[in-house]
Amino acid sequence: MLYSNAGMVEQALQTLDELSQKRYSNVTEKSLCAILTVYLNNGMFEQLHDCFNTLPAKLGVKPTVVSHNLVLKAFVKENKIESAREWVEKMGVSPNIDTYNILLGAYLKNGDQSGFDGVMKEVLKKGIEGNLTTYNHRISSLSKSKECARAKKLLDEMVSKGLKPNAASYNTIVDGFCRIGDSESAEKVSDKILSDGYVLPCSFTCYSFDSEYGE
């Protein structure tokens, strides 16, 4: 990750090349994920796909859903959403909630409500428990569709399940109510931020509320 964040692609590749040539017995999937992350963070998508197809055999590791999710992220970054969906269906390992969150985020970003709903139906059908990211995507989707009351119910649901909301969970709903002109509901959610005590009100919440209502 240090190499990846610093953009030091050559150094990372050299390290992985040494590992694959010497075939250290303690090489794990983390090594594969490290190089895939280098390619992903530097926008080297073709190299990432080639690497996934060849490096596991060199390292003697079997890719799990973690590695497959990095390939999935590459398809999403390339905006190849159909390819991303096909990848999940054929990747040969069971998808986890992170897999579906990547797809949900992609459909949400592209404004594809049908695709988004399709993924959520699959998650619910399989009985996979959503996490904070899942709920935030759903809250954002509903708020963008002006279904802010349903978004608020989702917020209550996640809290009841023991998931702690973050600032984005509240801010998205406040902003949604602001956009449909429901100042009373927006204020109630703003008050809930304080009463729940999970996060502190941030400048975005204040800006949304004040800019819409001139307070």
- The amino acid sitting at 46 is E
Residue range 80-105, pLDDT digits in tens = 999 999 999 999 999 999 999 999 99
Residue range 103-136, pLDDT digits in tens = 999 999 999 999 999 999 999 999 999 999 999 9
Q: What is the mean pLDDT of residues 175-188?
A: 92
Domain chopping of the chain, boundaries? 1-63, 76-128, 130-215
Q: At what angle do helices 29-41 and 65-77 cross, to 10 degrees?
A: 10
pLDDT for 211 equals: 52
pLDDT for 160 equals: 93
For residues 62 and 56, the answer to whether their CB atoms sit within 8 Å is: yes
- Residue reference for tokens 């797809």: 103
Sign of the CA dihedral 76, 65, 25, 52?
A: negative
Percent of the chain with pLDDT over 90: 66
The 3-class SS string of 44-102 reads: CHHHHHHHHHHHHHHHCCCCCHHHHHHHHHHHHHCCCHHHHHHHHHHCCCCCCHHHHHH
Q: What is the mean pLDDT of residues 54-77?
A: 94
CA nearest to 65, candidates 36, 25, 108, 104: 36
- The amino acid sitting at 161 is K
Run of H or E including 175: helix 167-179
For residue 190, name the pLDDT band (cuts at 50, 70, 90).
Answer: confident
pLDDT for 206 equals: 47
For residue 147, name the pLDDT band (cuts at 50, 70, 90).
Answer: very high
159/62 Cα distance (integer angstroms): 37
Helix (H, G, I), strand (E, B) or coil at 144: helix
Flag whether pLDDT at 207 surpasses 50: no
Residue range 11-26, pLDDT digits in tens = 766 766 666 665 555 6
For residues 167 and 155, the answer to whether their CB atoms sit within 8 Å is: no
